[in-house]
Chains A and B, each alone.
Chain A
Amino acid sequence: MTIRRLLLCGLTLLTLLSAEVSAMGRGLTPVPGAPRAKETILPDLEGNPFRFADHRGKVLLVNFWATWCPPCRKEMPSMQRLQNQWADKPFMVIAVDVGEDAETVWAYAAAHDLEFTMLRDKSSKTSLQWGVRGLPTTFLVDAEGRIVFRALGGREWDDPALMTEMEKLLPTAP
């Protein structure tokens, strides 16, 4: 198989994979009992450890994804728009790439102007600890570190209905 044909085949598959029953999922599912998020430390794209606990006091949108996953790719721009809109709020988007190397993730982020926090879970261990079964899966962690919502499949994260729901989680200024 030639390189050119390989690329063509790969692009065709991504197109096929993108032909979905429905473009996106809807809504957020409350997580029963709002369990405390597991203590998580993952490397960022430069290899520096990122501790979730250091960001207590913010609402975290924690998204598990991979660059080859079509619905993951589709929702990424909306996550960036949300981060931009809420740049002055105690809110943070964290995308955890599952299984890929830093160069692959960095190249994708650079090509799509994604500036939110990107972490890597090379072995999938953290993803499995968080109960992720398929990609993409997203969790919303409140300012106290509790997992309050879950979303399976892609979303338009700057959809007004979703933003209204998430805004309720933001801590109010003292």
Chain B
Amino acid sequence: MTFVPSLMRAVFLTIVLVGLPVTPGWSDEAAWGDDAGERASSFLRESNLSLEVTRLPASAVEAFHLARGFSPAHAAMIAQRGCIHKLDAKNAAAPNENAVSLSLPLTAWRVHADGEESALLTRADWADIWDAASPPVAPAARTALHWAQFPPDQLFSPGDYNWGMASIGLPPGTRFELTVVWRENDREHRSTLKGLRCARIKP
């Protein structure tokens, strides 16, 4: 696995860090019908991995983070810049197959959009953003975001299931592919989900 420097990732973080303090409350007019007619979920069932990737409406993401204690500006920033998707993952091996442990190293996943490749924004990336944010983010809000994000290094035993948000880190409406990497007993697997898109937001 090679580390790919990500221009898009750097641009994203720069925009967030520079733009946040002067950005008024972004209006969020994403109607619930915005994405009607286009599937919101993609599934990957391969070997012992069962994975669902679901696009979350930006206004719902904003509301969720507002309710956790983020300021309106920060909540809107997460919704508009995060391209938040939900991950549901399960080790589908039978519970008595104790030999099959599965892990999802999120730092190895890759996002492909407009000819660029980037990594997901991790819990650590968000922590860096909040460290630099002004006004400061409430500790309770930071804690909630930390735990709501899909863990970057979790071991799934047979029968284990978990969920969490993934921060794709692309602008609203961007179409992308997602290369998923997982390991089963130290053997690495990868597969690419195509036809994904960030939630749209009306200006």
Contacts and interface: CB of A to CB of B under 8 A. Distances in A.
A5 B32 CA distance: 11
Interface string B142-158: 01101110110111111
B60 interface: yes
Interface stretch (A49-57, A78-86, A151-159): A151-159
Given A6-B66, A66-B144, A12 B60 contact: yes
Interface in A119-153: 122-124, 133-135, 150-153
A101 interface: yes
B67 interface: yes
B164 interface: yes
Contact of B140 (A17, A29, A101): A101
Contact of A98 (B41, B66, B89, B143): B143
Given A21-B50, A21-B88, A134-B162, A66 B56 contact: no
Q: Is chain A's binding surface mostly helix, strand, loop or mixed?
A: loop
Interface string B168-196: 00000000000000000000000000000
A97 B143 CA distance: 12
Contacts of B61: 13
B51 A21 contact: yes
Interface string B80-114: 00000010111000011010000000000000000
B161 A154 contact: yes
A1 B65 CA distance: 13
Interface string A7-18: 101101100110
B117 interface: no
Interface in B28-70: 28, 32, 41, 43, 50-52, 54, 56-57, 59-64, 66-68
Q: Is chain B's binding surface mostly helix, strand, loop or mixed?
A: mixed
B147 A10 contact: no
Contacts of B56: 13, 16-17
B21 interface: no
Contact of A25 (B59, B153, B159): B159
Given A1-B28, A124-B147, A20 B88 contact: yes
B86 A25 contact: no
Interface in A61-78: 66, 68-71
A25 B52 CA distance: 15
Contacts of A71: 161-163
B51 to A, nearest CB: 7
A21 B90 contact: yes
A19 interface: yes
A44 interface: no
Among B41, B62, B63, which residue has the most Cβ atoms of chain A within 10 A? B63
15 contacts: A1-B66, A7-B63, A12-B32, A13-B60, A13-B63, A20-B163, A25-B159, A27-B157, A29-B98, A71-B163, A99-B140, A99-B144, A100-B144, A124-B146, A151-B160
Interface of B: 28, 32, 41, 43, 50-52, 54, 56-57, 59-64, 66-68, 72, 86, 88-90, 95-96, 98, 139-140, 143-144, 146-148, 150-151, 153-164
Interface of A: 1, 5-7, 9-10, 12-13, 16-17, 19-22, 24-27, 29-30, 66, 68-71, 98-101, 122-124, 133-135, 150-154
9 A-B pairs closest in CB distance: A27-B95, A153-B161, A9-B63, A99-B143, A26-B159, A13-B60, A25-B161, A29-B157, A27-B159
Given A1-B28, A1-B62, A25-B162, 13 more contacts: A9-B60, A9-B64, A16-B57, A21-B88, A21-B90, A66-B147, A68-B148, A69-B147, A124-B147, A134-B154, A134-B164, A153-B160, A154-B161
